[in-house]
Structure 1
Amino acid sequence: MKEFTKIDFYTQMFFLIIGPVAFIMGGLSGLVLFYFIVGIPQLISFLVKLFLGIKKSVWYITYGIVVIPFWITVMILFKEKILNDFFGYILIAALLYSPVMAGLYVYDCYKTYKFYK
């Protein structure tokens, strides 16, 4: 558990630093890169922690409640290729809150890492 939290924290920090660099270098397409570069590793980390015996914090649960619907919407859009008002609202809202949630998730990884250290 201790080793996983250490690797997870440093991995999340790496991608949180690489994401804005991609945004700066890529312009408007870099914005999409930012969301996926930061978001996909966080989603994988979230799902791994979901099935491990790691203590679930309030920030972890909040992250799951507000970010998982975004990923479900993205999967529906890729599979069904439909975009109605409901899915559009979720995606627009995610553009606003995802960077904040990404920072909070990395902070939660840090607190978990310090707890096991």
Structure 2
Amino acid sequence: MKNFTKYDFYIQLSFLIIGFLVAMIEDWGGWILFYFVVGIPQLISFLVKIFLKVKISPLFLIYGMAILPVWISLLMLTVGIDARITEIPGFIVIMALFYSPFMALLYVQESHNLYLSLK
């Protein structure tokens, strides 16, 4: 468990830095890449931590409640459901464009706090 949290923190920090570098190098397309470069590893890490017995903090729960609907909405939009039904998932994805970078920073901070608590 301790090794997982250590590696997880460094992996999350690395992807966050890589995501910001990609976003700065590219134009608007870079910012879209940022969401996936940072978001996919964080989603995988979040799901792994749910099934492991780790200390769940309020920040971890807030992250999950804010980010999981975004990925579910993206899945719904890519599957191609009726246009009337996709209005709400589309709104969730657009709102996530504004708060996801802050949530990514908070998730890395939470990973660091978890790593320090197990040290």
TM-score, with structure 1 as normaliser:
0.95
Query: Which of the two has greater helix per residue?
Result: 1
- TM-aligned CA distance change 1:21 to 1:82, over 3 Å: farther
Q: Paired residue for 2:94?
A: 92
**3-state DSSP of counterpart to 1:55:** coil
Asked if structure 1 preserves the Cα contact closer than 8 Å seen for 2:73 and 2:89, the reply is: yes
What residue in structure 2 maps to residue 44 of structure 1?
Answer: 44
Question: What is the aligned partner in structure 2 of residue 75 from structure 1?
Answer: 75
Unpaired stretches in structure 1, ≥5 consecutive residues: none
> Partner letter of residue 92 of structure 2?
I
Question: What is the RMSD of the two structures over their aligned residues, measured on CA atoms?
Answer: 1.1
Q: Structure 1's 94 and 82: CA in aligned 2 closer, same or farther, altered over 3 A?
A: farther
Deviation at 1:26, TM superposition (A): 1.6
Q: Select which of 90, 107, 110 maps to 1:108.
A: 110
Amino acid in structure 2 at the alignment position of 1:101 = M
Q: CA deviation at 1:91?
A: 1.1
**One-letter amino acid of the counterpart of residue 33, structure 2:** L
1:3 alignment partner in structure 2: 3
Partner of 2:32 in structure 1? Answer: 32
CA distance in 2, matches of 1:10, 1:75: 28
- Higher deviation after alignment, 90-99 or 73-82: 73-82
Amino acid at match of 2:96: A
In the superposition, the TM-score normalised over structure 2's length comes to 0.94
Identity of aligned residues (%): 48
Tell me, yes or no, if the aligned pair for 2:15 and 2:37 is still in contact at 8 Å: yes
Instruction: Tell me the number of residue pairs that the alignment of Structure 1 and Structure 2 aligns.
Output: 117
